[in-house]
């Protein structure tokens, strides 16, 4: 069996900037094709990569960089926002501790209610089942120097939405609830989540233009 790609690109060379997507527990970069295609259609170069290769991707990126992470990738996005060139960070489904131990069917339900995405995960040989049962190996930052957006599913049973809201307040980050489960970027409301991402990217892009001017 071939291994999952370590880095996946969508879109042309950065015209409005680069979005670096960081997967969470059990995921791999290719899982974000739907989101990557949507953001690329709006003029962003999207690169999904493993967290341990993110710094190298950021260093070679064109234009202003925004980090977008899900689950443990969300915590990494906030932590890596201190790297020069990063203009913003988006954290979706930010974890803050060990969740309940779930059999596969319950894990799938906790992740998403989107039938298309569920079928994708069921058939994906590179996706790691049971990964949400592992302790998230993350360190949550206490402050962040760039604009930040925390997205959270209203029905997230993996990461408590109330705790996520408190973290957002502490970071002075924008907090947005989207109807859905833990993998809010890949739930039935993925379009609504992508809309929030694009609104945030638009503000970051506008600020970057003002700085260059």
Using a pLDDT cut of 90, give the percent of the chain over it. Answer: 83
Gap between the Cα atoms of 34 and 20, Å rounded: 15
Tokens 């999952």, residue? 4
The predicted-structure confidence for 140-150, as pLDDT tens digits, reads as follows 999 999 999 99
For the entire predicted model, the pTM comes to: 0.94
The predicted-structure confidence for 19-73, as pLDDT tens digits, reads as follows 999 999 999 999 999 999 999 999 999 999 999 999 999 999 988 999 999 999 9
Band the pLDDT of 2: cuts 50, 70, 90.
low
Gap between the Cα atoms of 165 and 167, Å rounded: 5
Topology (CATH) of 7-96+110-212: Rossmann fold (3.40.50)
If you average pLDDT over residues 157-172, what whole number do you get? 96
Question: Cβ contacts of residue 100 below 8 Å, gap of 6+?
Answer: 157
Gap between the Cα atoms of 131 and 24, Å rounded: 9
Tokens of 6: 């370590």
Is the pLDDT at 14 greater than 70, yes or no? no
Q: Which residue has the higher pLDDT, 208 or 177?
A: 177
Beta-bridge mates of residue 176? 151
């Amino acid at each position: 069996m071939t291994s999952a790609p370590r880095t996946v690109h969508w879109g042309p060379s950065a015209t409005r900037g680069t979005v670096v997507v960081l997967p969470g527990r059990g995921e791999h970069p290719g899982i974000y094709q739907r989101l990557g295609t949507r953001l690329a259609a709006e003029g962003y170069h999207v690169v999904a990569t493993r967290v341990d290769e993110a710094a190298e991707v950021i260093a070679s990126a064109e234009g202003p960089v925004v980090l977008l992470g899900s689950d443990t990738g969300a915590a990494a996005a906030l932590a890596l926002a201190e790297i020069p060139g990063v203009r913003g960070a988006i954290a979706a489904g930010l974890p803050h501790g060990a969740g309940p131990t779930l059999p596969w069917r319950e894990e799938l339900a906790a992740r998403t209610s989107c039938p298309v995405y569920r079928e994708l995960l069921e058939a994906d040989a590179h996706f790691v089942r049971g990964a949400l049962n592992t302790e998230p190996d993350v360190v949550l930052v206490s402050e962040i120097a760039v604009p930040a957006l925390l997205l959270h599913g209203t029905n997230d049973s993996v990461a408590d939405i109330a705790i996520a809201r408190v973290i957002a307040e502490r970071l002075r980050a924008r907090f947005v609830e989207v109807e859905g489960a833990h993998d809010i970027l890949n739930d039935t409301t993925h379009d609504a989540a992508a809309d929030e991402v694009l609104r945030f990217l638009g503000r970051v892009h506008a600020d970057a233009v003002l700085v260059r001017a």
